[in-house]
Chains A and B, each alone.
Chain A
Amino acid sequence: MRGGLWTTLAPLLVGIVLLCVWEAACRFFEIPQYLFPAPSAIAASFQEHWSYLLTSLWTTVRVTLQAFAFAVVIGTLVAFLFVQSRFAQVAFFPYVVLLQVTPIVAIAPLIIILVKSTSVSLVICATIIALFPMISNTITGLRSVDPGLLSYFKMKKAGRLRTLMRLRIPSALPFFLAGLRISSGLALIGAVVAEFVAGTGGRNSGLAYLILNAGFQLDIPLMFAALGLIAVLGIVMFMAMTALTQLMLGHWHESALKDNL
């Protein structure tokens, strides 16, 4: 059977097997903890430092979600503006691309110097990283309207707003949701990278700073525990976006149809 249970069990099984092999290899070759810790050592470290880890996780989650929200709102607005006005697109699109192609690690120090609050500068950096796919995908979506349907709306003398609401937005939805999937992951990457560059701790430091710190102290199991949390966070966000896509497109779009899997 190819039911839903199997698609959950198979990756889980692979994960368990990999963990077992990892644990066994570490024990068998007697690899020291400060080089490459066994899963059991990572779990022990997590148990010991769980409150520190979860506080840091919360900071990273907050930065990620804020950046993601800004990227979605700004990205969508910019896309609408570009689609409505040819001039705006011609004039501003090169700068959007410029923002995208400049490595964030190169701009981050500047932003961190210019912006007083560290948490605000982290959100700005992560937003810049997550922004481009939202703009680009939403523009593509808003333009990917069936020309026949567009003619039909024109023939029916439907106004701009009505055409937008009834035709352009629904047509853009698959592209917008694909943008969300990419952007959510990038927001997390941005949050982590920016904190690495900032390298500051303070009261509300995130997982990236925790990894840096653990590295300095050669507390490799703690590093892995933090790394694991980042990975879990990324997976949870991806799954949330996939579920949202399924919810909104499941009944009609090829990309989300169950029988296509």
Chain B
Amino acid sequence: MNLGQGTIGDGAVAVAVRAAEKVFPNGTRALSPIDLTVRQGEFLSLIGPSGCGKSTLLKLIANFYDTTAGSLAWWQGDFSKVGQPGRRLAFVFQEPTLMPWARVAANVRLALDLEKQDGEDPAAKVAAALKQVGLADFAGSYPRQLSGGMKMRVSIARALIDRPDLLLMDEPFGALDEFTRNKLDLDLVQLAWQRRLTTLFVTHSIYEAVFLSTRIVVMAANPGRIFGELVVDEPQPREEGFRNSLRFVKTCQELSAMLAEASRQRLDA
């Protein structure tokens, strides 16, 4: 098993999670103390069996709710400084999470509207973001007129228009068919590389995790904790050909074995 700390992502620390715990008001212990360091430029995937708290961990980092114990630091500061240049954060949900009453352009623009920034022409920014996800021709459509994959692209455009330094994604392609998912994965991994994005990605799919990530953190359930990690030492930018390579298959096997072990182990026994 490869538990090495790895050499990728030796940049500055983007997020530091220190002994963070999460117990929900109903008593569910979602996360036992977690230590995790995310470095700038990493593409880090969280993977594990259902109930392992990977989504909870991501939402803690997004500050959707507070930790029960332990601490989190964003770029060595607290959350109040998030949003400043160089410390921008964006979240992509499991669902596209679009406003059904607004056109695609207005949905993407929402990110800017809520920031109340002035300066650059928002319409031009929206157009650029939509072009980046290949939806330049759909600015005037309503979400209901788009396919699942296209809605997800709108959601990604809304995240990208913020020019995030840290992109958090919670199983964004889980509901899509495999073909669409593969296409979006390729677009995402290349985009993340071009923009030097730091990305935290929650997934259920071994293949997706291996294809996208520079580092994979395997989590175990009952209570949610980090079981181990795996560095994917594949050069950037990733190409579609990686999927068919022997390295890919081997890494998938390794990850699969780790996951099987993580699913077997229980701490509370």
Contacts and interface: CB of A to CB of B under 8 A. Distances in A.
Interface string A140-174: 00000010110111111110001000110010010
Contacts, number: 48
Interface residues of B, number: 23
Interface string A237-261: 0000000000000011110000000
Contacts of B111: 156
A253 B115 contact: no
B2 interface: no
**A154, A156, A251, most chain B CB atoms within 10 A:** A156
B101 interface: yes
Given A148-B95, A252-B100, A153 B64 contact: no
Contacts of A167: 99
A252 B93 contact: no
Given A155-B63, A156-B111, A173-B101, A251 B91 contact: no
Interface of chain B: mostly helix, strand, loop or mixed: loop
Given A155-B62, A170-B99, A252-B101, A148 B93 contact: yes
A148 B97 contact: yes
Interface residues of A, number: 20
B62 to A, nearest CB: 6
A254 B143 CA distance: 12
B110 interface: yes
Interface string B87-104: 001010111010111100
Contacts of A148: 93-95, 97
Contacts of A173: 101
Interface of A: 146, 148-149, 151-158, 162, 166-167, 170, 173, 251-254
